[in-house]
Structure 1
Amino acid sequence: MFRILATALAVLITAFALWWLSRGIIPPSTVRFAAGIENGGYWHIAEQYRDILAEDDIDLKLIPTAGSAENARLLANGKADAGLLQGGITLDRDIETLGAVFTEPFLIFAHQTDGTSVPTNPARWSGLRIAAGAAGSGTRAAATSFFNAAGLSNKSNTLLPLGDAEAAKALADGRVDIALFVAPLSAPYLSTVLADADSTLLQLDHTVALSRRMPQSIRVDVPSGAFGLNPPLPPEPVTLLGLVARIVGQPDLHPAIVDRLVEAARRVHESGNIITPKDKFPSMDNTSLPQNAYARDLIADGESPLNGFLPYWVTAQISRFAILLLPIVFLVLPLLRALPGLYQWSIRNRVFRHYARIREIDNEADATDDPETLGALRAELIELDRHIAALKLPLPYRGYAYNARMHIDLLRKRIALRESETSTAATG
């Protein structure tokens, strides 16, 4: 019986595994990827991902957008399968993160000439012209979050829809007082403001308080000379706010695609840069969104050793099934441990359930002197003995039947003695 139950359970688990693996074991050949502004920073990173996925014949279709905010909309509307998302961008539906991949400094440059100065405490900004990124861009979303953290109202300053190269030129020309950028230090358009003697990278006051009020932000230490060494720019180390960018994807993104995107992120980002130590990314820290379970394990444990022997998409399916099977195993193991006890109980119960009637017969025999009643009880015991003797029990459990029959025999003899004594008393 136990073997039958264990075999049935194994068959069910195997059937479930085959059914699950059959649900799209081969990954799609094309993946839609929301990649931000064409030829922008995110776009160039997405191009590197595309080249890596092409090694496995996966076509990463890059979708140009206005920035992270539009990336989020495309993902929410199901018009993109995966994409890059700037830190602080939120989503209304369940999109999963495949990992944080790099930190983007939140750069604040001010145009300061003799007699004019922009306060380093942003709460004191008032009446300033601020290039805060185009509508729908990640820079505008970060600027909004920053203003909220600093306690600035929308009417305190004039926000202009200028970003990247346009914002850099407007700052150098003196058409804006502040330009905000969410960009890598190597962004080419920053050379315009770096070359302008009147443009200064602001070292804000209260960066700790600001970072704790801005979602997905951290403090970033930028060493002197990070932009250039001759002359050193910045001349002194500065501490800036930084936003953690993430790769995100649909909850039903094929595990093989998750596998390749995580591997692409590892190859592109693990070497670090001037503000990020080696091997910091990819990571599941500072991601905020629900985490893709397979991506989380890949980042924590690295590539599966099976990748050296099996195609990556087979390994991905095996790993996915292992993740799904784990909760089932935790449920099934206690059941497997309980099965022998349940089986033993069921066998014993086939014999022991008759003891209730045996006890009743014993009590009834003690309570009567009627020969007919005693004879009927003895006859019932004989029938019980025949029934228990006919039970087909496994060899290790036959002792239960022998013990029951012995008890019946003892009780039957005692009743027969009572019958004899009663009959003698009646005839005497």
Structure 2
Amino acid sequence: MPRVLKFTRFSLRDFLVAAGPAALALVLTGILAYWLVDPSPPSTVTLATGQDNSAYQEFGRKYEAALAKSGIQVGLAPSMGSQDNLQRLQDDNSKVDIAFVQSGSTEHDAAQKQGLVSLGSLFTEPVWLFMRTQKAVGQLSQLHGMKINVGPEGSGVPGLFRRILSVNGIEPSALRLGDLENTPATVELLAGRIDGLVFSSAPDAPLIQMLLQTPGIKLFDFAQAEAYTRRFPFLTHVILPRGIVDLGRDLPPKDYHLIAPTATLVARADLHPALVNLFVQAAADIHGGAGWFQRRGEFPTASYTEIPVSPAAKKFYESGPPLLQRYLPFWVANFLERMWVVVVALGALILPLSRIIPPLYVWKVRSRVYRWYGQLRAVEQAVEDVPAERRREVFAAQLDRLNDIEERVNRISIPLSFADELYGLRSHINFVRRRIAELMGGEGPATPPP
């Protein structure tokens, strides 16, 4: 049976020899395409947040927990605020990949030049001016001479508040502006050592919640809020409804008009699209509900941002999350989505290789027969022009050589479809043997093969 199995219609060994290099090339090309053309997303990313007890810090923790479910580790980098975050994103030596940035912090052309993209607006963060004063303050012009804390320069509040003062015709030098961080500034306000402080934050911030319920602390009402939004397009007019803080105690006791920029999630343009999708999906879960200043589903959105929106984020806002990520774990879905790169790369090789491998296979099988024709030709050349005194010796040696060749040829395993070439070789061996016998003439018959 093993001897019979040598004769088959197809030679797997020859096929593997012929197709092996091509298969290896396909595998290497697929691996290179998978890792180089569309690399796997990193498993760690750094998010710049904000000051202690700020809304940015609170939301940063929520993003950290949300992405941890998909196996992505989010490192939180505390900062002074929006401007500090923007500078870190622009710094090539910084390890920050994504950050919270306040609208109005930069311009469209500048952001595009610096390689920044927006993942969408997340929420409004009103300008809160809390004051500790006995007299009612209805206009900003009444703040002359007061000590107002606007926060460190790294946050977006100092620049924003100066612009607000400028449209009111107030020079910053007319006030004593402080640069304390939010927590120590709140302590100073409660102790009566400053007259007021300015925040720009979502109402989720613990300090905002506390100050709204602290007796003796008053919130400034921007009665001209609509006019501010006409002067500054990145601002929106929002209303803090009466009783929203505590209905039982009727806090606040009236509607307050506020002006609000929006918080934007900004990333470097080279952030992996898969991570962009994860962050935007997390943003929809974290910020998509109803709040004090928004309706359900109003945020996140591609609107209210002067920074170009990432193509991956824009696609999410138009059609939702990628199809596979709706039903499969992140890493599985990402692997399958990236496989099209491998398919394209392999397709570019398979078509030409499909035309090369079959002839190569045929050549490999036939070469096992053809290489013996060289041996036959050598035998024929050996018996030509032999001196008479050496003919018997030379002819006998070449006949032995032919017998050896024929014995080896009989052991060749070859597919049945090429059997005619094997039998042709054997007949040619006999032909050379008869020719030698004819040349020997009367010197004796040819020795038959054993």
TM score, norm. by length of structure 2:
0.61
Matched residue, 1:85: 101
Amino acid at match of 1:263: Q
User: Could you tell me how far 1:133 is from its partner in structure 2?
Assistant: 1.2
Aligned ranges for residues 26-41 of structure 1 at < 5 Å?
Answer: 26-41=40-55
Matched residue, 2:57: 43
- What secondary structure sits across from 2:206 in the alignment? coil
Q: Relative to structure 1, is the Cα distance of residues 207 and 36 closer, same or farther in structure 2, using a 3 angstrom cutoff?
A: same
Aligned ranges for residues 368-387 of structure 1 at < 5 Å?
Answer: none
Amino acid at match of 2:131: A
Q: Could you tell me how far apart the structure 2 residues matched to 1:57 and 1:194 are?
A: 38
Amino acid at match of 1:139: V
Q: 1:100 aligns with which of 121, 141, 151?
A: 121
Q: Could you tell me how far apart the structure 2 residues matched to 1:182 and 1:257 are?
A: 28
User: Could you tell me how far 1:88 is from its partner in structure 2?
Assistant: 2.2
Matched residue, 2:198: 180
Q: Relative to structure 1, is the Cα distance of residues 29 and 192 closer, same or farther in structure 2, using a 3 angstrom cutoff?
A: closer
Matched residue, 2:184: 166
Please say if residues 217 and 241 of structure 1, whose CA atoms lie closer than 8 Å, have aligned partners that are also in contact. Answer: yes
Please say if residues 169 and 193 of structure 1, whose CA atoms lie closer than 8 Å, have aligned partners that are also in contact. Answer: no
Q: Relative to structure 1, is the Cα distance of residues 192 and 279 closer, same or farther in structure 2, using a 3 angstrom cutoff?
A: closer
- What secondary structure sits across from 2:123 in the alignment? strand
Aligned ranges for residues 254-269 of structure 1 at < 5 Å?
Answer: 254-269=272-287
Amino acid at match of 1:87: S
User: Could you tell me how far 1:20 is from its partner in structure 2?
Assistant: 9.1
Please say if residues 25 and 317 of structure 1, whose CA atoms lie closer than 8 Å, have aligned partners that are also in contact. Answer: no
Q: 2:304 aligns with which of 286, 289, 302?
A: 286
Q: Could you tell me how far apart the structure 2 residues matched to 1:193 and 1:39 are?
A: 13
Amino acid at match of 1:146: I
Amino acid at match of 1:61: G
Please say if residues 212 and 252 of structure 2, whose CA atoms lie closer than 8 Å, have aligned partners that are also in contact. Answer: no
Matched residue, 2:255: 237
Please say if residues 53 and 205 of structure 2, whose CA atoms lie closer than 8 Å, have aligned partners that are also in contact. Answer: no
Q: Relative to structure 1, is the Cα distance of residues 47 and 191 closer, same or farther in structure 2, using a 3 angstrom cutoff?
A: closer
User: Could you tell me how far 1:312 is from its partner in structure 2?
Assistant: 4.0
Q: Could you tell me how far apart the structure 2 residues matched to 1:316 and 1:49 are?
A: 20
Matched residue, 1:55: 69
1:210-259 per-residue CA deviation (whole Å, 9 max, x = no partner) reads 12333521111111112222311111112211120011111111000001
User: Could you tell me how far 1:69 is from its partner in structure 2?
Assistant: 1.3
Please say if residues 151 and 181 of structure 2, whose CA atoms lie closer than 8 Å, have aligned partners that are also in contact. Answer: yes
Matched residue, 1:306: 324
Q: Could you tell me how far apart the structure 1 residues matched to 2:327 and 2:132 are?
A: 59
Query: Is 1:216 aligned to 2:234, yes or no?
Result: yes
User: Could you tell me how far 1:283 is from its partner in structure 2?
Assistant: 0.1
Q: Relative to structure 1, is the Cα distance of residues 109 and 153 closer, same or farther in structure 2, using a 3 angstrom cutoff?
A: same
Q: Relative to structure 1, is the Cα distance of residues 75 and 219 closer, same or farther in structure 2, using a 3 angstrom cutoff?
A: same
Q: Relative to structure 1, is the Cα distance of residues 34 and 319 closer, same or farther in structure 2, using a 3 angstrom cutoff?
A: same
Please say if residues 55 and 204 of structure 2, whose CA atoms lie closer than 8 Å, have aligned partners that are also in contact. Answer: no
Aligned ranges for residues 100-139 of structure 1 at < 5 Å?
Answer: 100-113=121-134, 116-118=135-137, 120-123=138-141, 125-139=143-157
Larger mean Cα displacement after TM superposition, 149-158 or 26-35: 149-158
Matched residue, 2:446: none
Please say if residues 70 and 329 of structure 2, whose CA atoms lie closer than 8 Å, have aligned partners that are also in contact. Answer: no
Larger of the two Rg values belongs to structure: 2
User: Could you tell me how far 1:317 is from its partner in structure 2?
Assistant: 8.8
Indicate the percent of aligned positions where both proteins have the same amino acid: 29
User: Could you tell me how far 1:261 is from its partner in structure 2?
Assistant: 0.4
Q: Could you tell me how far apart the structure 2 residues matched to 1:256 and 1:310 are?
A: 14
Aligned ranges for residues 244-393 of structure 1 at < 5 Å?
Answer: 244-308=262-326, 312=330
- What secondary structure sits across from 1:32 in the alignment? strand
User: Could you tell me how far 1:191 is from its partner in structure 2?
Assistant: 5.2
Compare relative contact order (CA 8 Å, sep 6+) and give the higher one, 1 or 2: 2
Query: Is 1:64 aligned to 2:82, yes or no?
Result: no
Amino acid at match of 1:55: K
Please give the root-mean-square deviation of Cα atoms over the aligned residues, in Å: 2.8
Amino acid at match of 2:74: L
User: Could you tell me how far 1:110 is from its partner in structure 2?
Assistant: 2.3
Q: Could you tell me how far apart the structure 2 residues matched to 1:72 and 1:84 are?
A: 8
Matched residue, 1:145: 163
- What secondary structure sits across from 2:321 in the alignment? coil
1:59-112 per-residue CA deviation (whole Å, 9 max, x = no partner) reads 111111111111111101032111111222227523100011111121112222
Q: Could you tell me how far apart the structure 1 residues matched to 2:270 and 2:334 are?
A: 14
Amino acid at match of 2:88: L
Q: Relative to structure 1, is the Cα distance of residues 321 and 100 closer, same or farther in structure 2, using a 3 angstrom cutoff?
A: farther
Q: Could you tell me how far apart the structure 2 residues matched to 1:163 and 1:225 are?
A: 29
Q: Could you tell me how far apart the structure 1 residues matched to 2:268 and 2:204 are?
A: 31
Amino acid at match of 2:49: A
